[in-house]
A and B are shown apart, each in its own frame.
Chain A
Amino acid sequence: MDFDFTEEQTMLRDMVASYLSDNYSFDARQGVIKSGSGFRPAVWTAFAEELGILGASFSEDQGGLGGGAIENLVVMEQFGKALVLEDYLGAVVVAGGFIRHSGWSGGPALAEQIIAGSAIPAFAYAEPQGRYNWADLKTTAKKDGGAYVLNGHKAVVVGGPNATHFIVTARTSGGQRDAAGVSVFLVDKSTKGVVTRDYPNIDGPTASEVYFENVSVPTANLIGQEGKALPLVERVIDEATVASMAEACGVMEKLHTLTMEYTQTRKQFGQPIAQFQVLQHRMVDMFIQLQQSISMTYMATMKIDSEDAVERAKAVASAKVQVAKACKFVGENAIQLHGGMGMTEEMAVSHYFKRASLLRYLFGGEDHHMVRYETLSFGKAK
């Protein structure tokens, strides 16, 4: 047993860290947000060409580097530390997951474009009423000759404003929350009837409300089997959840480091406030939460490729319970220990806190995953 990264993975980590340190300063990031964009084309090009990370988790026969979940973890942890805005999660982790697990005929061509940086899919899975039930879909897809016709509304599609495509979950049959009848489609954003309303999220990235108004999608764009895609969706969302936890670990590490630095500099009552035992213990507890989160994220990353769907789901659910709780504890205390300064927009810590707070709930918070874990362990509660 070991928890070491391979030489290649270590190189990948160092390369990403070095690039971000040169190109992704806090000020540069804030500038991108103020400009109203959540995306720098030059950064995405660098991800594709200079760093080659867009292909790191794709198989070699798809033109990638043959990596997988661990490579995504390595990249996402660094992205967390720099609060990267660009939507690697949707474009690479989610899209790559669908391509890998579906056997979809269009997969290799899309993979090639993603790796090159020319296709940037965003994941349109959430619906206004659905909360974290991925089968709760009002968006419908009706077969009509050689096409499906999509109608519906997808909520808070992160990365939507800069996406080229949407990967859309839609109902091809059954009732609103039935497990059967869920299908997945690739939709080119320029297709007639795709309407988007773009906005920034409070933690920095941009998102869209996406409306499908009689959007005609070729049958060749059906990813996976018609009406039987729920297990595929759940698997990919579990992979995305693990990757987002890696990002959360990077975010929390920064929250802890910034707090350690600040409390050793800030003086009150004639001494650095880090000298007060009550604050020392708080920072120790933050550190423990961080370490427990890293452990659970590694555990879930190593189990995410298991063919045992229950083992996989339990690993992800248990890890997310830990990470979600830690996002709250580490984030809130980082602000508290920064005092008034932590409340200001100009301090980086407040932005890490905002990101941690939203990552806590992304793909479901501690309650959602606790219920999942309980149900997988004991069956449904009576």
Chain B
Amino acid sequence: MNLEFTAEDNAFRAEIRAFLEENYPKDITERLGAGEEATKEDYVRWHKILAAKGWSVISWPVQYGGTGWTPTQKYIWNQENARIDALPLISFGVAMVGPVIYTFGTPEQKAKFLPGIVSGDVWWCQGYSEPGSGSDLASLRTRAVREGDHYIINGQKTWTTMAQHADWGFFLCRTDPDAKKQEGISFILVDMKTPGVTVRPIILLDGAHEVNDVFLEDVKVPVENRVFEENKGWTAAKFLLAHERSGIAGVARSKRGIDKIRQIAGTEFADDGGKLIDDANFRRKVAELEIDLTALEYTELRSLAGENAGKGPGPETSILKIKGTEIQQRVTELALEAVGHYGAPYFRGFPNDGDNAHPIGPEYAHHAAPRYFNVRKTSIYGGSNEIQRNIIAKMVLGL
């Protein structure tokens, strides 16, 4: 047992920190800090900076553009990114379809698709969930029918994150309707510009447009866009769900969230006229949150130590998902509580019209309620926390 990072780890951290300070666009920090939302251009710009350095796909095998970093180094990378609130790279290419392609794809598929993911030139989206298939994903009904050297795809996908920006999508489609649920599914790559693909926005409760319905109507896709064997797509899908769970706990970002709460509470007043951070009840809640987060951090570090020793992440990563999302939700709840009356105004309802003489609350309050509402999704998506508990019951406890 040893909690120390090695001298090499510390040198690595210093290198990462220097790189981020030098290269992360300051204007993005400023705009996002002022409450603006990140644009597609912001994501792509940062991706390209990282790609130039060779750090856009850090977890990939070196031959495809990865870094060869140890799990501890990747952990440090995540920590340092969170420390400056750097934009995360969009995961659909880097963390999802990329690993599926280099693991299951043909040499032609690797040559065609991996470079665009590494460079950030191609934006991917994920076509998994359907209106009738959420937690029970394997019940999906989107059909791909083979006609010569093409598939004709018909169906509907939903909750497709940032499909409005996507060049390509990876879709789970049923290719054998008579097979048992998980069998008979294929993993197919679709050019989003193909005729018959329609993306329709879904507006979330905080007013944000992050997710979409994707309608597929007689979409004609060459058979060479299928990854892995026909009817074996579930293997690729499962691989993807288990892959790159590191960072799922969001420890470093929750730490940043708590730092922000401390800042807000150091500005806001409590009922007694003192600072909110000196209020016994409020600081108790912040302290409880920090302690819960510390427990999660060390649970994650134990899992990381296992990975360093060559054991792959197991179903206990469900612990990280459950606790990580619960903590993220509590961070936003506490931020909403901290801003008091100014949690109510809806910032999308008062676009900055330059009326600085009559401000509507402090800037840090504008996103408090929307974030609290928005992060409800984290205990729903990626396998709801109820499903995660089922996984632990079955796979870990053997119940």
Contacts and interface: CB of A to CB of B under 8 A. Distances in A.
B271 A345 contact: no
A83 B271 CA distance: 30
A276 B136 CA distance: 13
A367 B386 CA distance: 29
A207 interface: yes
Interface stretch (B25-33, B37-45, B290-298, B340-348): B340-348
A129 B269 contact: yes
A328 B330 CA distance: 11
A343 B205 contact: yes
Interface string B121-134: 00000000100111
Interface in A29-82: none
Interface string A346-377: 10001101100110010001011011000000
A209 B358 contact: yes
A357 B271 contact: no
A271 to B, nearest CB: 10
Which of B132, B133, B205, B273 has most A Cβ within 10 Å? B205
Given A268-B135, A346-B203, A367-B281, A207 B379 contact: no
B328 to A, nearest CB: 13
A201 B344 contact: yes
A262 to B, nearest CB: 12
Nearest to A155: B341
Contacts of B329: 332
A357 B373 contact: yes
Interface residues of A, number: 53
B358 A195 contact: yes
Contact of A197 (B204, B276, B355, B377): B355
Given A130-B269, A342-B376, A343-B377, A203 B203 contact: no
Contact of B379 (A336, A344, A357, A381): A336
Contact of A202 (B159, B345, B361, B379): B345
A131 interface: yes
Interface in B256-289: 268-273, 276, 280-282
Given A202-B343, A278-B386, A278-B389, 7 more contacts: A199-B345, A209-B359, A332-B329, A336-B376, A343-B376, A361-B337, A367-B282
Which of A339, A342, A351, A368 has most B Cβ within 10 Å? A339
B377 A202 contact: no
Contacts of B376: 332, 335-336, 342-343, 353
A128 B373 contact: no
A172 B384 CA distance: 55
- Secondary structure of the B contact surface, majority rule: mixed
A268 B333 CA distance: 30
Interface in A126-150: 126, 128-133, 136
A291 interface: no
Nearest to A153: B358
Nearest to A158: B344
Which of A202, A203, A211, A350 has most B Cβ within 10 Å? A202
Q: What 7 pairs between A and B have smallest CB-CB spacing?
A: A350-B205, A200-B349, A268-B136, A202-B346, A133-B271, A345-B203, A199-B350
B337 A340 contact: no
Which of B269, B345, B389 has most A Cβ within 10 Å? B345
B254 to A, nearest CB: 18
Contacts, number: 146
B386 A279 contact: yes
B139 interface: yes
Contacts of A358: 343-344, 369
Contacts of A223: none
Interface of B: 129, 132-136, 139, 158-159, 202-207, 211, 268-273, 276, 280-282, 329, 333, 336-337, 340-346, 349-350, 355, 358-361, 369-370, 372-373, 376-377, 379-381, 384-386, 389
A3 interface: no
B361 A155 contact: yes
Contact of A128 (B205, B280, B281, B361): B361
Which of B129, B135, B273 has most A Cβ within 10 Å? B273
Given A155-B342, A155-B361, A361-B343, A133 B379 contact: no
A177 interface: yes
A131 B342 CA distance: 10
Contacts of A381: 280
Contacts of B158: 340
A237 to B, nearest CB: 13
A93 interface: no
A69 to B, nearest CB: 25
30 contacts: A131-B270, A132-B271, A156-B361, A158-B344, A176-B273, A177-B273, A195-B358, A199-B349, A199-B360, A202-B343, A202-B345, A207-B345, A267-B132, A268-B135, A276-B386, A278-B386, A335-B376, A335-B380, A339-B134, A339-B380, A340-B159, A342-B376, A342-B380, A343-B204, A343-B205, A343-B377, A345-B205, A353-B373, A361-B336, A361-B337
B279 to A, nearest CB: 8
A269 interface: yes
Nearest to B270: A131
A156 B345 contact: yes
Given A340-B159, A345-B205, A207 B377 contact: no
Contacts of B385: 336
A367 B337 CA distance: 10
B336 to A, nearest CB: 8
Contact of A357 (B129, B136, B139, B372): B372
Contacts of A133: 271-273
Contact of A156 (B135, B280, B344, B381): B344
B380 A131 contact: no
A207 B344 contact: yes
Contacts of A371: 271, 281
Contacts of A158: 344
A132 B271 CA distance: 6
